[in-house]
Amino acid sequence: MQHDAAHLDLFLAHRAALVDYAAPIVGCRSRAEDIVQEAYIRFSSAARGQGGRIAHPASYLYRIVRNLAVDWARHLAVEGPRAEPGVLEALPAAAPSPERAALDRDAVRRVAAALDELPARTRQAFELHRLAGLTLQAVAARLGISLSLAHLLVRDALTHCAERLGDLDP
């Protein structure tokens, strides 16, 4: 019984260092915590089996932690990483929800309708800049207008679309 208390004191004195020792090997601090707990169980069992006489108990405890951590790392290398329970459910879905898809389709319809309401040159400047990806300088050159007018036309189109989407007051 006296040996069990001494081994527990030894474990508690080295616990934080043991976790720090195992964490880089297994790549996860919470997994290192689990390994250190398992190491204590094995250490305690081995000590009882030897009548509480272990020549270098701290070294023996570190060796158990290292062996368990290396075993876990090997297991992970062979099996591949597995998600903890509940982790996959917390990940966002790759596809939008049906509600989000419906809202997005509605927004696209409203923007298309807003673009149809614009004068031809304003719409063309907007489409060249925002949809075709041209710079304002390229838009101005393509339409034969000044740079400031190209900027004004694109800004007017954006403002008009935002108003139709309800982002701004009309």
Q: 81-123, pLDDT tens digit by residue?
A: 665 556 656 666 677 788 888 888 988 898 889 889 999 999 9
Look over the chain and give the mean of its residue pLDDT values, rounded to a whole number. Answer: 84
Domain ranges in the chain are: 2-84, 111-165
Q: Is the separation of the CB atoms in 57 and 14 below 8 Å?
A: no
Q: What angle do CA 106, 96, 83 make, to 5 degrees?
A: 170
Q: Which residue has the higher pLDDT, 141 or 5?
A: 141
CA distances from 21 to 17, 50, 68 (A): 6, 26, 12
Q: Quick one: pLDDT at residue 142?
A: 93
Pick the CATH number of 111-165 from 3.30.1330.10, 3.40.640.10, 3.40.50.150, 1.10.10.10: 1.10.10.10
Distance CA 169, CA 29 (A): 52
Tokens of 65: 């932690």
Alpha helix locations (H) across the chain? 2-26, 29-49, 57-79, 87-90, 98-117, 120-126, 136-143, 147-165
Q: 124-140, pLDDT tens digit by residue?
A: 999 999 888 899 999 99
